[in-house]
Structure 1
Amino acid sequence: MDYFMVVISVLATLILPTSWGSQLPNFILLFADDLGFGDLGSYGHPSSETPNLDKLAAEGLRFTDFYSTSPVCSPSRAALLTGRYQTRSGVYPGVFYPGSRGGLPLNETTIAEVLKPLGYATAMVGKWHLGVGKDRMYLPTRQGFDHYLGVPYSHDQGPCHNLTCFPPNIKCFGYCDVGVVTVPLMANETIKQQPVSFPDLEEKYRDFATQFISSSARRTQPFFLYYPSHYAGLGAAGRSLRGRFGDALMEFDSTVGALIQALQDSGVHNNTFIFFTADNGPELMRRARGGNSGLLKCGKGTTYDGGMREPTIAYWPGRIRPGVTHELSSTLDVLPTIAAMAGATLPRVPLDGVDMRDILFSHGPSKRKAIFYYPTDPSEKYGLFAVRVGKYKAHYYTRGAAHSDTTPDQDCHMISFLKAHDPPLLFDLEADPAENYNLATPDHPEYRPVLELIEAQKVQFERGMVFGQSQVAKGSDPTLQPCCNPDCTPKPTCCTCS
C-alpha cells in the first residue's frame, strides 16, 4: 500500500496541467521593492499592518529560506523573469540608469514569453528596472508583455528635490540622482506623466491591475500579471503605526486585497496561483524610514542573508495546503515552476531554476541543493562570495555596502571593505540566522567535511557558469533618457508633462 501511494504521489507531480480543470491556471507574481525578511506581520514585525499578505501566508505556504539572486534591483529582476543568473544574461554590475545603453537582452526569454504561445494575456504594472534603451527597445512590451503601466527604473533615479512623496505635501526622503530627467510614468511605450505623481501612483496601479484581471476573466483568457511594486501612496498616509514606510507597505497590502477581491468577483479566484516575494533586502541607510531585516545580518547591497533572503508566500486556494516550508528555494525557480503548471515549453538555454511543485503541492523536499551568492558587481576574478548547502553557509568574501550603512553592525557599512576568507567563514543558519558565530575555527575541526562539501558545490557551479557580456558596462547616453518632450530644450529640465 505504501508503494502504491508513493507511485500516485509521483504521478501527481508529473500529470498534465489539464488536471487543474478545463482552464489553464492564471498567475499573479507580486515582487516587492527593498523588503526585509522582518517587514511583514506574518514574519514577526510587531507594528507592520499587512493583513492581506498575512492572510495569504496563513492560508498558503510561507517560505523561511527563499532567496533572491542579488542584493540589488536590476540583476534580481532579470533572474526572476528568466530563471537564469544575472551573470548569464549580462545584467551586472549594479543596476540600469535612465540613459543606460543596455538592458535585459532581447534573446533572453521571460516568463511572459514562455506563457504567450499558450494564449495567455500578459501585463506588467510597477517598477521595471531592466532598461529602456534606444527606441524603447528594452521595455516590457518588447519582452512578452501585452500591457505595461509603470516606472521604467527606480523611483529615486531622478531629481526629487521639492517632489511630494506623501500627502499632503511631504517631500521625498533620502538621496536621489541629479542631472537626469524626472521620473516618468509610462503606459506601454508612451510617457503619460513626467514627473510621476507619487502620492496617487499606487491607486493607478491598483486600477490597472484589477481591470486587467476583470477583462481577462470576461474573455475567459488565462492571464499572467507581474506586479513589482513601489512604496509611495495616498491611501494609507498617516494610518499605520510604523511611519511612512509602514504607510506605504500598508497601502501596497491594500492593493493585494483589491487583487484578491477582483479574482473573487471575476470567478477565477480558485484558478489563480499567487506568488509573493521581493527583489532584495532593506535599504538600512534610510533608518526607520526603510525596511527591516529581522534577525538576519545587514541588508541591501551585501551578501549576508539580510541582503538576499526574502519573505515569500505561495497561495492557491484548494491547491496549496497551508503551512510553512524550510526548503531552499530561489527566485530562479519561479519560471520553471510556472512553466510546469501551465504545460509550457522551457527556453532552450541553460536554466538555473528548478521546479518547486513538490514543495508547493506536497510540502516535500526541494530539488535545489545550494544557494549561490553573487555580489552587486560579480566577476570571474572573484566568483561567488558565498555558498549555502543545507543549513550551512560559507563566506569566501565579505563586504559592506552604502545601502546598509547606519546600523550598529560595522560589517554592514560601506567602510567594511572587501575581505577574503581562507578558510571561509562558516555559519549554521538554523541555529544562527544572524551569522554571528563562525564555526570554521581550529576549535571546530568537525566542520571540515561541511566545508569540503560546500567547496565541491562551488567548484561545480562555477565550472558551468558562462558570463554574458555586461549590459550595464555599455554605459549611458543622455539622449536615451525618457523625455515626454523629446525635442525640447534645455534638457533635462524641460522634460515635463502632466
Structure 2
Amino acid sequence: MKIKPSYLKLLFLIFTALTSYTGNTQKHPNIIYVLADDLGYGDISAYNKNSHIETKYLDQMISDGLMFTDAHTSSAVCTPTRYGIITGRYNWRSKLKSSVLTGNSKALIKPTKSTVASMLKNQGYHTTFIGKWHLGWDWALLDPNAPEKPGWNAEDFNNIDFSKPITNGPKELGFEYSYGHSGSLDMAPYVYVENGMPTQVPDTMSGNSSKFSWWRKGPTSKDFIHEDVTPNFFRRSFNYIEEQSKTNEPFFLYLALPSPHTPILPTKAWQGKSNLNPYGDFVMMVDDYMGRLLKTVKDAGIEDNTLIVFTSDNGCSPAADITGMEQLGHYPSDVYRGHKADIFEGGHRVPFIVKWPKKIKKGIVSNEIICTTDFMATAADIVNYKLEDHEAEDSYSILPLFKKPNPKKPLREATVHHSINGSFAIRQGDWKLIMCPGSGGWSYPKPENEEVIKTLPEVQLYNLKTDPGETTNLQANEKEKVKALKTLLISYIKKGRSTPGKPQNNDAIDFEWKQIDFINKS
C-alpha cells in the first residue's frame, strides 16, 4: 500500500513537533544554588521564633519545600566554605589551613580538580557563576617576577594588569559563563570580571570608613558601584534564568551573594525597614530579592523541575553589631554559642532551605546533620553520575533526604568543622569534640586571650542535644568519647577523605601545620 505524500508530510510535522517540544522533555532538573554571605542561623524568622527580621519570602520557600535544622558549613569563614561547596572536599586538605584569601590571591583550586560545575557540564548542563568568587584567580601581572603582595592594602594591586584576562578562574573550573568579583565586597580590587576579562580598567581609588558601610581602599572601576552589587547580581541571575528557560538544556546557576557581609548597604527603599539596624534592613533586602528570584522561576514555567538551594557560608559577623541587636532582642545565632569565625555552633550552623516541587513535598523539616560539602555528591546523585575516588572526598548525597527527611540511620558518619585560625571540631550524633581550649575565632575566649586560654582544658566536649549552647564541657567525665572522636578525626585527616572509598592524598605543603599537633601526640 502506498502512503500519500500528504500523509508523509503530516507524519513528519507531528514527529518534528514532538521531538522539539520543550515543556517536559528535560530529564534533569535545573539547579540554582544561592549562597548568602555572613547570614546567621537566627536571621531567618522561620528558624528563630524570636527573630526581629521579617523574611517572608524565605519563610514561604520553607513552607513550599524542605528546611534543614542541623545544617553546617565546613568552615566558619568565607573562602574555605566556598572551596567545600565547589569541590565536595574539606578546605584543610588544600594549602589553605586557616583564614581566607584576599582580592589578589592566586587560584586555590587547581584546574585539574573536579568541581560540581565541571561534573554537571559534562552531564549536559549549562553552567553559570554570578557573584562573589573568593577562591582566588590569577590576575595578569605587569611584572610577573615581582614579589607577591598580601592584598590588604591599596598598593598591593599596583602590579595587576587589568587590561588583560585572568586565568585559573571560574571558566577553568567548569563554568561556561561567569560574572563577578574576586573577593569579599570589602576587599579590593573593586572590578567586575566577565568570562575571565575585567569589564573595565579601574581608574579611581575608593574606600569607606563608616561603621556598617565599610570597605578597604583600593582600585575601583566606574561600573562597580558598591550599593548596586547585590541588586546587579540578582538582575543578571533573573535574566539568565529567563533566557535559559527558553531552551531544552538544564542549567546550573551558582549565585554567590556578597551580602549581608560588610559593607552593609541596603538600598534606599530598605533603609530603616527592619526597625533593628542596617544589617536587619540588608537581610530584608536579600529576602525580597529571593522572592523575585522565586517568582522569576515560576513565571518562566520551570518551577516544578527546578531545584533551588538557599544557605549561608557561615554565621553572622560581629561587624553587623551583634551585641546591639541582642540588646534589642534579636539573636543572629538563635540559641547557639558564638558567631562567624568560631568553632562554636554559631560559627558554622546555618539555615539551609531546598525547594524542588517535582520531588519535595511542601513543609518538610529535616533534623538530619548535613554539610555544605554535600552539594557535589547530591548533584552527582541527581544526574546518576558515579563519583570517582578522587572526587568529592567529603561529600554525602542528601538526595535520599528529599523523600525521607529523618531516616533511622544517620546520613553522615561524622562531620568536621573548622574555625578561622584552623582549629578543628568533629561532630557525631549528639556529640561534638572541639580540639582547642576556646573559640578558635573571634568570640571569647579568643586564641589571643592567652592568660585565659592557658587555664582551660586542651579540648572541649559537648552534648548538643542536652546542651545546644555549648556551656558545659564534659571532656573530663567522658574520656572514652573524647578518645573515640579524636581517633575518628585523625583517621579522616590521614585517609584524605571522610567518605567511603580509597584513601586519597591531601595537598602537599611546605610549611608546618600547627593545628594537627594532636596527631603527633597521639
TM (normalized to structure 1)? 0.78
Structure 2 distance, partners of 1:390, 1:355, is: 18
2:185 matches 1:147: no
In the TM superposition, what is the alpha-carbon distance from 1:92 to its structure 2 partner?
3.6
Paired residues for 1:52-451 under 5 Å: 52-135=57-140, 136-158=166-188, 171=210, 173=212, 176-178=215-217, 180-182=218-220, 193-194=221-222, 196-231=224-259, 232-234=265-267, 235-288=269-322, 292-321=332-361, 322-350=363-391, 351-365=393-407, 366-378=410-422, 385-400=424-439, 404-405=442-443, 410-411=444-445, 415=449, 424-441=459-476, 444=477, 447-451=478-482
Structure 2 distance, partners of 1:281, 1:68, is: 9
Deviations 1:405-454 (A, max 9, x none): 5xxxx32585367669767321111221110012233xx4xx34433432
Report the CA distance shift for 1:208/1:34 in structure 2 as closer, same or farther (over 3 A): same
Deviations 1:115-153 (A, max 9, x none): 101221111121110112134113222221122222221
- 8 A contact 2:461–2:473 mirrored in 1: yes
In the TM superposition, what is the alpha-carbon distance from 1:458 to its structure 2 partner?
1.8
Structure 1 distance, partners of 2:134, 2:122, is: 25
Give 1:41's aligned residue. Answer: 45
In the TM superposition, what is the alpha-carbon distance from 1:470 to its structure 2 partner?
5.9
- For the pair shown, the structure with the greater C-alpha radius of gyration is 2
Amino acid of the structure 1 residue aligned with 2:47: Y
Structure 1 distance, partners of 2:239, 2:132, is: 19
Paired residues for 1:437-476 under 5 Å: 437-441=472-476, 444=477, 447-465=478-496, 466-469=505-508
Give 2:519's aligned residue. Answer: none
Deviations 1:252-285 (A, max 9, x none): 1112111111111111100011111111111124
Structure 1 distance, partners of 2:454, 2:238, is: 48
- 8 A contact 2:76–2:340 mirrored in 1: yes
In the TM superposition, what is the alpha-carbon distance from 1:377 to its structure 2 partner?
4.2
- 8 A contact 2:42–2:51 mirrored in 1: no
Report the CA distance shift for 1:376/1:227 in structure 2 as closer, same or farther (over 3 A): same
Structure 2 distance, partners of 1:273, 1:429, is: 31
In the TM superposition, what is the alpha-carbon distance from 1:217 to its structure 2 partner?
0.9
Report the CA distance shift for 1:210/1:347 in structure 2 as closer, same or farther (over 3 A): farther
User: Any gaps of 5 or more consecutive residues in structure 1?
Assistant: 1-19, 183-192, 379-383, 474-498
Report the CA distance shift for 1:390/1:373 in structure 2 as closer, same or farther (over 3 A): same
- 8 A contact 1:127–1:154 mirrored in 2: yes
In the TM superposition, what is the alpha-carbon distance from 1:310 to its structure 2 partner?
1.0
Structure 2 distance, partners of 1:69, 1:118, is: 26
- 8 A contact 2:77–2:341 mirrored in 1: yes
Structure 1 distance, partners of 2:213, 2:281, is: 17
Structure 2 distance, partners of 1:34, 1:201, is: 16
Report the CA distance shift for 1:345/1:420 in structure 2 as closer, same or farther (over 3 A): farther
In the TM superposition, what is the alpha-carbon distance from 1:376 to its structure 2 partner?
2.6
Structure 1 distance, partners of 2:364, 2:395, is: 23
- 8 A contact 1:393–1:426 mirrored in 2: yes
Structure 2 distance, partners of 1:21, 1:343, is: 17
- 8 A contact 1:293–1:299 mirrored in 2: yes
State which drifts further: 262-271 or 84-93: 84-93
TM (normalized to structure 2)? 0.74
Report the CA distance shift for 1:263/1:159 in structure 2 as closer, same or farther (over 3 A): closer
- 8 A contact 2:367–2:405 mirrored in 1: no
The DSSP-based 3-state class of the residue aligned with 1:393 is: strand
Report the CA distance shift for 1:237/1:303 in structure 2 as closer, same or farther (over 3 A): same
Structure 1 distance, partners of 2:434, 2:389, is: 33
The DSSP-based 3-state class of the residue aligned with 2:297 is: helix
Report the CA distance shift for 1:54/1:472 in structure 2 as closer, same or farther (over 3 A): farther
Structure 2 distance, partners of 1:63, 1:250, is: 21
Report the CA distance shift for 1:337/1:428 in structure 2 as closer, same or farther (over 3 A): same
Structure 1 distance, partners of 2:300, 2:448, is: 49
Structure 2 distance, partners of 1:100, 1:221, is: 34
Identity across matched positions, percent: 27
The DSSP-based 3-state class of the residue aligned with 1:224 is: strand
In the TM superposition, what is the alpha-carbon distance from 1:80 to its structure 2 partner?
0.7
Amino acid of the structure 1 residue aligned with 2:135: L
Query: Comparing both chains, which one has the higher relative contact order based on Cα–Cα distances under 8 Å and sequence gaps of 6 or more?
Result: 1
Amino acid of the structure 2 residue aligned with 1:111: V
Deviations 1:317-369 (A, max 9, x none): 14213322111110111110011112235355151111112212221434201
In the alignment of these two chains, the number of paired residues is: 425
State which drifts further: 325-334 or 281-290: 281-290
Report the CA distance shift for 1:198/1:134 in structure 2 as closer, same or farther (over 3 A): closer
- 8 A contact 1:174–1:286 mirrored in 2: no
For the aligned residue pairs, the C-alpha RMSD in angstroms reads: 3.0
Deviations 1:37-68 (A, max 9, x none): 11111111521121111111122221121111
Give 1:495's aligned residue. Answer: none
- 8 A contact 2:103–2:184 mirrored in 1: no
- 8 A contact 2:89–2:373 mirrored in 1: yes
Give 1:480's aligned residue. Answer: none
